[in-house]
Structure 1
Amino acid sequence: MRIAILTGEYPPLEGGVGDFTRALALELRRQGHELHILTGQNGAPAIADEDGVHVHRCIPSWGIACHNQIVRQVAAIRPDVLNIQYQPAIYEMKGAIHLLPRWQKRNIQVPIVTTFHDLRVPYLFPKAGQLREWSVQQLAANSQGVILTNDEDYAQLTRMLGSGSPAPQVRLIPIGSNIAPAPPPGYEPAAWRADQKFNPEDFLIGYFGFLNRSKGVETLLEAAAALVQEGIPVQLLFIGGRTGSSDPTNRAYAAEIDARIEALGLSARVRRTGFATPPEVSAALLACDVCALPYRDGVSLRRGTLHAALAHGKAIVTTTPQVPSRQLRNGENMLMVPPEATPEFAEALRRLWHEPDLRARLGQQAALLAAGFSWNRIAAHTAEFFRQLCHQAEPPAS
């Protein structure tokens, strides 16, 4: 198949949706498909062949004028399917992308499939109110197919769509880790820790991901401060880029976190890798004793940072999911506590400090769970869904 993927974020921009799109495109290409990425102008070459994927950085902004540019690109590429990667921040929180399937059905005469990385609503304009949720509902309802990545969003979108007709076909296809467990050649965790000036006895707690208010980093900081007061040799390692390229609110939140670190007296115990290559991120994750992911909205399989921790076989402390998951199991492949519950989060970390055997067992089970989210399987299921929709769109034989 010839597949066009529309995304507001793609490398070299930093962000989980861009990294996901690249990983998916590379695997679809490896499986024999022709891939075209339609994305924003970001200073990189306007048209480039990147590892066999054709990247068209042709869209200057994501206002309503982007419709004409997208239609022209689709007409030139002539794909079998157009896949929209949706997360509101990557489209500058504007609403034009939500109306593309509805307004351009006559001009984009191939199946449109929207992959929802979450169901958050765009800003649109002051006092937009219910129009914000309506815009997300319109994007889903007017797509021929919808891909969701987790049980919570599946349940929520089902409620949003109701019993209206026609309804899109919906598939649940999880994401995978954007960071493979592949550190640089010659890597050895103890040596890496020594090079980074960590002591052998340090309890190294890793946090991976941008600083975003939904991540609940305050809970981790306050729990770490409590453990330090008990004499536990905590060191915090913030892995990866600081705020990313798409969400401007992250910068203000990062400043709040910096102030909180100083107020808690943790400055000497916090290290940051800064933006790092995938092998460097992998090396840092593998060196950690524990990975802490204190999401405010609960752990979810839509979180790429969770998948990275699972793939690296880490003992994970995180927060209880909003919707119970058959795959994420407290005490079996991670430890979960309620969101924003600092004493409970501290107790889970304390337990892992005192019980290295539990750390090892949770890490082993995390790696086993990660094996079910391989890019080979994700791409194959995605392509099968595309193929099914393309077949249904074909006119009946005369």
Structure 2
Amino acid sequence: MRILVLTHEFPPFRGGVGTYCVETAKAAVAQGHTVEILAPHFGKDNAEEDRLYPFTVRRFAGGVYATRALPRLLLALLRAKPWTFDIIHAADWPFVMLIPWMRPFIRQRIVAMMHGTDVFLLAKSRVAGLLFGRSYLRGADYVVANSRFTEDLVLKYHPYLASPRRTAVTLLGVDPFWFNPPVGPSEALERHGVPKNRKLLLTVARLDIRKGHRYLLQALALLPQHAKDQLGYVIVGKALDLAYQDELKRLAEASGVPVVFAGAVSNDDVRNFYASAWLFCMLAEPNPEKVEGFGLAYLEAAAQSLPSVAAPNGGVPEVVLDGETGVLLKDRSPDKLANLLVELLGRQDDVARFGSAARTWAQTFSWQRCAELTYQPEQAAHRAPSRAEIVAGES
């Protein structure tokens, strides 16, 4: 089949949606499909990088989505001639909300992907309501969600999709890259000024307030000195809010533990950090407008046998198994987190066991399975589900 993937988030912009688009497209090509991705250029010439993909990338002028860019988005969509493809895959919300405008002149299958926060965003957007209506998913032939949590959220706001059922869960996958041995982890730590001979806590996420960096920094300040002497903390990710970054740096200085802000780094170095760390820590703060629909970073960390400490928000419990691949901390208060860290310092065998189980668990998440469920749901239905899908179905 010929598949057109529509996304407003794609490399060089880094994020979960971009990763999803790249990996799903690669898996679809491996299954024999022809894939073209329509994405913004983010103000640069991406031709050299785009040639490395096994699919075609068609760029249009643009960056992070803003309402004023809507006419340009529509023009780019028309130039891509979506009616010439077998499947149109609206992979993130700027294109999902265009489905009512696509439907009248496209008879081919339209698949919409929902990631979690986008359900809230479009439900509350005045512009989306005025221009596209609140039932913007009605024109989709099929709606896929990255977790059972996200699917439930979609059905809450779009009950018309329940009968006949037009939704499915397509859990994300883990690229083999994350399972491969790291290349030069010691050199990476030295290059970024990370202290050695310490048990490293690691967060890989944009410096967004909802990612919960400050919970961990506040907890570090409460640790007894013997625990502080054993730990270090590495924060990997680009700052979205400079004021929040400044707050984190103040908390880091007061923590009494070495803290490194590595910024945005290459995937090679992210993997080096995963391989060198003791615990992956990302305790998302509750937010009525933003949720963790899935949590791919937890699985990429798990691929390097790195267990997680997380909050049981959104789709995270479908990714981190409490007491098996890590710990889900319901009470995210700094004192409870500090107590947990002290406890885990005394349970080294359990932490190692969590890490081993995490790697095995990550291996059950497949991009091939995700692509099949997205583009050939009838065929995929006849195959045995992965353990991850079984757990998601029971949750």
TM value normalised by structure 1: 0.80
The one-letter amino acid paired with 2:207 is L
Query: Any idea what SS the aligned residue of 1:122 has?
Result: helix
Structure 2 letter corresponding to 1:102: P
Give the counterpart of 2:51 among 49, 52, 55. Answer: 49
Alignment of 1:330 with 2:322, yes or no, is yes
Structure 1 match to 2:362:
370
1:276 to 265, 289, 308: 265
Other structure's SS at 1:154 match: helix
Query: What CA distance in whole angstroms lies between the structure 2 residues aligned with 1:108 and 1:130?
Result: 21
The structure 2 residue matched to 1:80, chosen from 74, 81, 86, is: 86
Equivalent residue in structure 2 for 1:287, among 276, 288, 294: 276
How big is the shift at 1:145? 0.8
Shift of 1:352: 1.8
Structure 1 position 124, deviation (Å)? 9.9
| Code of the aligned partner of 1:364 | S
Contact map agreement 2:308 2:320 (CA 8 A) in 1: no
- Partner SS state of residue 282, structure 1: helix
The question of whether the paired residues in 2 share the 8 Å contact of 1:301 and 1:307 is answered with no
Residues 191, 358 of structure 1: alpha-carbon distance in 2 compared, 3 angstrom cutoff: farther
What code does the residue aligned with 1:82 have? I
TM-aligned CA deviation for residue 336 of structure 1: 1.3
CA apart distance, 1:297: 3.7
Alignment partner, residue 258 of structure 1: 249
- Alignment partner of 2:107 out of 106, 109, 124: 109
Aligned letter for 1:79? F
| Correspondence for 1:225 | 221
Q: Which residue of 1 aligns with 2:178?
A: 180
SS in 2 for 1:64: helix
Equivalences, count: 368
Structure 1 position 140, deviation (Å): 2.5
Q: Matched residues in 2 for 1:15 and 1:98: separation?
A: 18
Q: Is the 8 A contact 1:219 1:342 kept in 2?
A: yes
Matching of residue 212 in structure 1 with residue 208 in structure 2: yes
Report the Cα distance in structure 2 between the residues aligned to 1:212 and 1:109, rounded to whole angstroms. 40
Q: Which moved more, 1:142-151 or 1:196-205?
A: 196-205
Q: Are the aligned partners of 1:38 and 1:56 in contact in 2 as well (CA < 8 Å)? A: yes
Deviations 1:196-234 (A, max 9, x none): 665654121111111112111111101112225454322
Q: Deviations over 1:306-363 (max 9, x none)?
A: 2212222112111123579566432122111125322221122222212110110111
Given the alignment of the two structures, is residue 352 of structure 1 paired with residue 344 of structure 2, yes or no?
A: yes
The code of the aligned residue for 1:49 comes to R
Q: Judging changes above 3 Å, is the alpha-carbon distance between structure 1 residues 25 and 326 closer, same or farther for their aligned structure 2 residues?
A: closer
Q: Is the 8 A contact 2:294 2:314 kept in 1?
A: no
Change (3 A) 1:323 1:40: closer
SS in 2 for 1:273: strand
> In the TM superposition, what is the alpha-carbon distance from 1:68 to its structure 2 partner?
3.4
Compared CA separation, residues 339 and 308, structure 1 to 2 (3 A): farther
Q: What's 2:121 paired with?
A: 122
For the 8 Å contact 2:123–2:157, the answer to whether it is kept is no
* 1:296–1:339 contact (8 Å) kept in structure 2: no
Task: Say if 2:76 is the partner of 1:69.
Answer: yes
Q: Where do 5+ consecutive residues of structure 2 fail to align? A: 381-395
CA contact (8 A) 1:26 1:53 kept: yes
Q: Which amino acid aligns with 1:313?
A: S
Say if 2:32 is the partner of 1:32.
yes
> Is the Cα–Cα contact under 8 Å of residues 176 and 374 in structure 1 kept in the other structure?
yes
Q: Cα distance 1:122–1:198, how it changes in 2: closer, same or farther (>3 A)? A: closer
Find the partner of 1:159 among 151, 156, 180. Answer: 156
Residue pair 1:238, 1:273 contacting (<8 A) in 2 also: yes
- Where structure 1 has 5 or more consecutive residues not aligned to the other structure, the ranges are 92-96, 389-398
CA distance in 2, matches of 1:23, 1:317: 26
8 Å CA contact 1:150–1:302 kept in 2: the answer is yes
Q: Which is worse superposed, 324-333 or 278-287?
A: 324-333
CA contact (8 A) 2:294 2:319 kept: no
